[in-house]
Amino acid sequence: MIDDAEFIRGKVPMTKQEIRALTVAKARLGVDSVVADVGAGTGSISIEAALCAVRGKIFAIERNADAIELIRRNVEKFSVGNVTILHKEAPDGLEALPMLDAAIVGGSGGRLHDILDALTSRLKVGSRLVVNALTVQTTAQALDYFRARGWTYDAVCVQITRLESVGLYDMARALNPVTIITAGKNF
Amino acid sequence: MIDDAEFIRGKVPMTKQEIRALTVAKARLGVDSVVADVGAGTGSISIEAALCAVRGKIFAIERNADAIELIRRNVEKFSVGNVTILHKEAPDGLEALPMLDAAIVGGSGGRLHDILDALTSRLKVGSRLVVNALTVQTTAQALDYFRARGWTYDAVCVQITRLESVGLYDMARALNPVTIITAGKNF
Amino acid sequence: MIDDAEFIRGKVPMTKQEIRALTVAKARLGVDSVVADVGAGTGSISIEAALCAVRGKIFAIERNADAIELIRRNVEKFSVGNVTILHKEAPDGLEALPMLDAAIVGGSGGRLHDILDALTSRLKVGSRLVVNALTVQTTAQALDYFRARGWTYDAVCVQITRLESVGLYDMARALNPVTIITAGKNF
Amino acid sequence: MIDDAEFIRGKVPMTKQEIRALTVAKARLGVDSVVADVGAGTGSISIEAALCAVRGKIFAIERNADAIELIRRNVEKFSVGNVTILHKEAPDGLEALPMLDAAIVGGSGGRLHDILDALTSRLKVGSRLVVNALTVQTTAQALDYFRARGWTYDAVCVQITRLESVGLYDMARALNPVTIITAGKNF
């Protein structure tokens, strides 16, 4: 697991270490996994996934040009050879992906249901779909989607508070909570 | 309960609305309560207390000169006539207070046990002592103090996450958690 | 503020002390407030409101017969004379209420929007409407309602963790989080 | 990552899935890691570690006889061949361990500093020590230990809230927070 400070960041928001670790764990990546990372941002999750699925393949999909540049630089910095960067606004581009073992949605630009529809057709039976939600509405939409279609899902809100050393004290500094919704595709 | 934005703030950290409300509730103030607010900061808790204990008296103790000036301005802004401002570094100044119905410790400058000792001698039987802790160490010290002396206490960590409206979404923004330790003086 | 253990509870879920305190604070009750408590449960919020709005009037609306009996017993135990208990399934019964200074919705039985519609017509200009949500969907529905109608609202998720004394240690025990959505009626 | 329900549990408290995942991530286990799991409880962390460090070795140390039996049964259920179970009350038994790449302390029976002292002498340079704390005092003791000795550490409080599907709603159910303190041994 990489420290947050090691990533090249710019102004693009980055998924913090603990959320990256839980996202990758919930996606149950194996060494051969083929993974889509939709709304890849700085690429921090793609790179963690790439280091885990060392013989697999990661597709980092991102619409923002600045973020695409950051992903490129982070891929280079961490010397991962199994990340393919796609400068697309999802669901555009998803139809051309190979069949996936896992998909991670970190950003959906207001088109979550369309993205989930497009991913569904690319996900293998037994694969996992993980949505990281920062808002009440994205959470509700993801839950609605999975409930309406009868997917099995699990959802957790993760609140991380860092204890920052200040002199002889450790001060509580809260990170913003992220809700991780994980669904298994069994069909 | 006053909105955070209504207080004059400067660079002094301010106790947020929900924490103020719970602090005042835990202190069980009545209209006649005499209250010490130690480490008063911007004075936000003193003013909430003053609006609650309208026929009582609030002593705002603060060591920082900038904060003292902010308390003055906030007292003026909210037109509360029952707040006495003391520019002292606690426990200095506590020995001269009248007998108290409640004491609130929002800041202790590394001298928590001395402050609690000084307050103990000023607190009436049946009064309440509330410590707001931002660090692991202050929390542990307050708990140790009350446990070692056999005080009855209750302690809660309060994590408030604001849902901020951003377009059509409500985004979770965590505030730093505060641990509120409340002890009753029964002797 | 009353300790949780003082209420008569039975099997009906009860709003915990800190949530009651924040709910009453968000509702900005005054001594003369006329208040509706919809989905009153054990009556714990109605009783806190009654002790605050001592010259006002509280209407506790509840559909469950066991809960109604608990409210009756708690009203008697705390000797509050200003609580009117209505055994109704909201929005039924709301149309007959007098004009309100505040409404609190703790339970909505799947009919939140109908209840908010009915309350809207009973709320005075400048009054406040507070919804306590335990689920993602209730939170989303309340936010949608207020956003769609242009109400000013504030929403906070409140996570209380009690530190329970076990021997020489204080163990963190989380309570379930509650999202409090507060809207002001300005029309 | 294993679902909580898959472990054989009995009455011994079990570290929940998300905490297990973060603990293993913070310990930075590799395929060859040699790991001590002190206060192994049900063995859930030992088994996750064993599945990660497939060519390494895990030492599960536990003082409670019922828990030892659970660890045995879980080791059998998950068919992990690289877990050695030690029925000892730490720090007893730690002195006989081989040099470690990581140590995880999930329970310390009130002897945290002695356990950390014993582990220190068994940890390789560059190894990691992870303490999972459920109480304010264990958190404070771990922080004090690492601060006093000049170790680099990171500490996070992790609050997981499960969203449980109930009909058409997803209800927030908080798990108890765990503070994870991770120190690197650089000497």
Going from N- to C-terminal start, the domains of chain A cover: 4-184
* C150 contact partners, CB below 8 Å, separation of at least 6: none
Check CB contact under 8 Å for A176 and B159.
no
Give the phi and the psi of residue B150 in degrees, each rounded to 5: 75, 20
Q: Tell me the chain C residues in contact with residue D177 when contact means C-beta distances shorter than 8 Å.
A: 161, 172, 174
Residue of B nearest to A166 (CA): B135
- At C171, is the secondary structure helix, strand, or coil? strand
- A52 sits in which H/E element: helix A44-52
Q: Which fold has domain D4-184?
A: Rossmann fold (3.40.50)
pLDDT in tens, A8-27: 998 888 999 999 999 999 99
Token pair of B77, please?
């802004």
Partner residues linked to A180 by β-bridges: A132, A156
Rounded to whole angstroms, the Cα distance separating D70 from D86 reads 13
pLDDT in tens, D71-108: 999 999 999 999 999 999 999 999 999 999 999 999 99
Q: What is the pLDDT of residue D134?
A: 97
Residue of D nearest to C171 (CA): D135
Cα–chain-centroid distance for residue B94?
A: 15
Our CA-based measurement puts residue C119 at a distance from the nearest CA of chain D, in whole angstroms, of: 23
- Mean pLDDT within A50-76: 97
Asked whether C181 and C130 are in contact (CB, 8 A), the reply is: yes
Rounded to whole angstroms, the Cα distance separating D86 from D65 reads 11
- At A30, is the secondary structure helix, strand, or coil? coil
Alpha carbon of D23 to those of A81, D48, D171: distances in Å?
A: 28, 10, 26
Q: Which amino acid is at C26?
A: K
pLDDT at B164 over 90: yes
Task: Check CB contact of A144 with chain D, cutoff 8 Å.
Answer: no
- Counts of helices then strands in chain A (DSSP H, E): 5, 8
DSSP state of A135: B
ipTM value, please give it. 0.95
Q: Which of B152-161, C71-80, C96-105, D2-11 has the lowest average pLDDT? A: D2-11
The mean predicted confidence, pLDDT, of chain A is 97
**Sign of the dihedral defined by the CA atoms of residues C134, C137, C143, C145, in that order:** negative
Token pair of A19, please?
């959320």
pLDDT at D10 over 90: no
Which of B169, B172, B178 lies nearest to residue A176, judging by beta carbons?
Answer: B172
Residue of B nearest to A175 (CA): B174
pLDDT in tens, C151-181: 999 999 999 999 999 999 999 999 999 999 9
Asked whether C185 and C130 are in contact (CB, 8 A), the reply is: no
pLDDT in tens, B17-36: 999 999 999 999 999 999 99
Our CA-based measurement puts residue B165 at a distance from the nearest CA of chain A, in whole angstroms, of: 9
DSSP state of B177: P
Q: What is the pLDDT of residue B1?
A: 85
- Mean pLDDT within C37-49: 97
Residue of A nearest to C135 (CA): A140
Our CA-based measurement puts residue B62 at a distance from the nearest CA of chain C, in whole angstroms, of: 26
Task: Check CB contact of B139 with chain D, cutoff 8 Å.
Answer: yes
pLDDT in tens, A151-176: 999 999 999 999 999 999 999 999 99
* pLDDT grade for C95, boundaries at 50, 70 and 90: very high
User: 């202050």: which residue's tokens?
Assistant: B138
Rounded to whole angstroms, the Cα distance separating A87 from A96 reads 13
Task: Check CB contact of C176 with chain A, cutoff 8 Å.
Answer: no
Q: Which amino acid is at B161?
A: T
Partner residues linked to A172 by β-bridges: A163
pLDDT at C105 over 90: yes
* D174 contact partners, CB below 8 Å, separation of at least 6: C159, C161, C174, C175, C176, C177, D159, D160, D161, D162
pLDDT at D118 over 90: yes
Token pair of C52, please?
């605050």
